[in-house]
Amino acid sequence: MRRVGNKVSVCIGRTPQTNGQVESANHVLLRGLKRRLDKAKATWAEEVPRNVWAYHTTTQSTAKETPFNLVYGSDAMIPVETQENSPCFQNFVVEESNEERKVNLDLLDEVREEAKIKAEALKRRLDYKYSSKLRSRQFQVVDLVMRKAHPYQLENKLSPKWTGSFRITEALGNGAYRLETLEGGAIPRTWNATNLKILL
């Protein structure tokens, strides 16, 4: 369901698009469930709360903070720490706890901003590392190339990933090329350089 102005539209048969962070979190949670459920797959519902708790209380590599801390402004206590014989329970002082909680809440915006900066810095480092390894492919007219196979052309895992021998007839710029078969038959659409490789 989606609201546009005063109207509400309902999308049937389509799933809403999620952002990459949600997809990444779901992937981590699913992987954790698979590790715990090797033998008893039917008990997956009982493992979900434990798995979510583990995710929320584990330091994330991007922000260097736990999601729990970014939301509530303090570290989570594991259930063992809440028992009467634990050092945390025995050394608990209400006044000190309240004061520390106020300080943590005052600093929460700064902690979130710092986590955001760390995540952005990591993203830029990864972008730079990826970009530095990219090699631009440029072909000349009359070069012989192979074309990456379409998924429907792959019968199994052992099928060749590249097909045919083609000749480049025109370079259109920005890595786009027109191809023809060796017999001179034109290929109907343009091809990007990422889907082509030189024929050796």
- DSSP string of 66-120, one letter each residue: -HHHHHHSSPPPPGGGGSTTSHHHHT--HHHHHHHHHHHHHHHHHHHHHHHHHHH
Same domain as 85, residue 52:
no
Interacting residues of 110 by C-beta distance below 8 A, sequence separation 6+: none
Residue 178 belongs to a domain? yes
Residue 139 belongs to a domain? no
For residue 40, is pLDDT > 50? Answer: yes
Q: Which residues constitute the domain of residue 38?
A: 1-56
Residue 180 belongs to a domain? yes
- List, for residues 47-56, the tens digit of each pLDDT value: 888 888 888 8
Last residue in a domain, options 11, 31, 56 = 56
Predicted local distance difference test score (pLDDT) of residue 109: 92
User: In total, how many domains does the chain have?
Assistant: 3
Q: What is the mean pLDDT of the chain?
A: 80
8 in helix, strand or coil?
strand
Predicted local distance difference test score (pLDDT) of residue 142: 84
pTM exceeds 0.85, yes or no? no
Check residues 103 and 42 and name the one with the higher pLDDT: 103
Instruction: Give me the numbers of helices (H) and strands (E) for the chain, helices first please.
Output: 5, 7
Residue 50 belongs to a domain? yes
Instruction: Report DSSP letters for 28-53, one per residue.
Output: HHHHHHHHHTSS-GGGHHHHHHHHHH
Same domain as 69, residue 95:
yes
For residue 110, is pLDDT > 90? Answer: yes
Question: Which region among 70-74, 89-93, 110-114 has the lowest average model confidence (pLDDT)?
Answer: 89-93
pLDDT band at 117 (very low <50, low <70, confident <90, very high): very high
Residue 102 belongs to a domain? yes
- CA separation for the pair 56, 78 (Å, rounded): 12
Same domain as 105, residue 89:
yes
Residue 114 belongs to a domain? yes
Last residue in a domain, options 80, 105, 134 = 134
